[in-house]
Amino acid sequence: QDSRRVQSLLNAFAHPAKLERLPAGALRDRLAILQGHVGAARWAQAATLLQHLAPEAGGDVAMKAGLYRLQHDPALPRLLRLEALQADAEVRRYQSLWERQGPPANSHAAAREGAAGRLRGNNVESMTKDSLQALAGCLNTVAAGQPYRVVTAMYVPAALAAHQEGGKTEWDAVLLRQVSDEPLWDICLLVEAKASPDSVSTDFPRLLRGLKVLSQADPARHYAFKAREGIFDLRGVSLQSLPTEADAVGRCVLYSSDAPAERHPRLLSAAARMQLLSSPECLGFAMALAEGWPADARSLEVLWEQLVGAPQWQALLGQYEVIRRARELMVHVDDLMATARACGE
């Protein structure tokens, strides 16, 4: 943000297009060099050059004002401070530890990783849709008609979603069955596509809340759900009958993923692991190990006692059960397609 601020202040009086209109000479050359320093984040060199540019601006009032604003804006000192810290050995060590957790936020690497993740997620959704369509085709053959169809990105209407808190309001892929000539539809199967198995345990509580939202439907009404394929009227009585308990949702919900099977699934989510490892007791124990001090595991007994009884740890204690139930709903997209094809045979 600070670098964009400095670049904007510089462009206000020394944009490359403006430099072309300046007379050839030392001032234009120095401003071009300043643009190069700022573009390459060479803040110390940019600050040094700025100190010598003001006398060279001559009678150009606008340029002098621009140079003054740039020199005295608080963004430049902050960037200078960051550049100085980059040379510190302890800072570099600290950054290397952060880099092990993944690319920094808002960096180009993070953007590339995010784009790759979205692409993989889109691929899983596409394969899930293809599998469900194959299953719908098989069911339609048995039913001697076209009562089954698949919709994607199905949004819960405002009439149901208005008062929910934190529940799922969009479903990735849904298998519907037509129940009348109007037409009206019932939900047969809801499938959520996930590129990462870890995200399933995080999503599961939202999924349960989303099912509770659907189950609050008025059985005497029908509700218009918008999907990529159009608008579909779903019967309230069908929505009301959806299971909402964690041990029963497997009747109508699946998670699909293209990730390979894990030999040793994690017993805690990433957020829960971070919460545990960030406790004062764990940090003190880790610091003792890192500094070569005597590290007594009994110092962690205080944390263990807190885990058993303190309210702030209750969600963490329930993590294993959440993960277990969520993983029971997982199916690989290849297996989902294989099942659909086997049904057709």
Among 259, 266, 263, smallest CA distance to 324 is for 266
- Are the CB atoms for 308 and 300 separated by under 8 Å? no
The angle at the Cα of 306, spanning 100 to 197, to the nearest 5 degrees, equals 40
Residue 142 to residue 136: CA distance in whole angstroms: 10
The tally of CA atoms less than 13 A away on the side-chain side of residue 266 is 14
pLDDT above 80: residue 29: yes
Highest mean pLDDT among 235-239, 259-263, 299-303: 235-239
Long-range (24+ apart) CB contacts under 8 A made by 296-305 are 303/279
pLDDT confidence tier of residue 145, bands split at 50, 70 and 90: confident
Residues whose CB is less than 8 angstroms from the CB of residue 286 and which lie 6 or more positions away in sequence, other chains included:
277
Q: Summarize pLDDT for 62-113 with one digit per residue, the tens.
A: 888 888 899 889 999 999 999 999 989 999 998 888 888 777 776 777 777 7
Say what the pLDDT of residue 120 is: 79
Burial 277-287 (b: 16+ CB within 10 A, else e): eebeeeeebee
pLDDT confidence tier of residue 344, bands split at 50, 70 and 90: low
C-alpha distances (whole Å) from 23 to each of 14, 28, 35, 57 are 13, 7, 17, 12
Residue 181 to residue 328: CA distance in whole angstroms: 36
Task: Determine phi and psi for 7, rounding to 5 degrees.
Answer: -60, -40
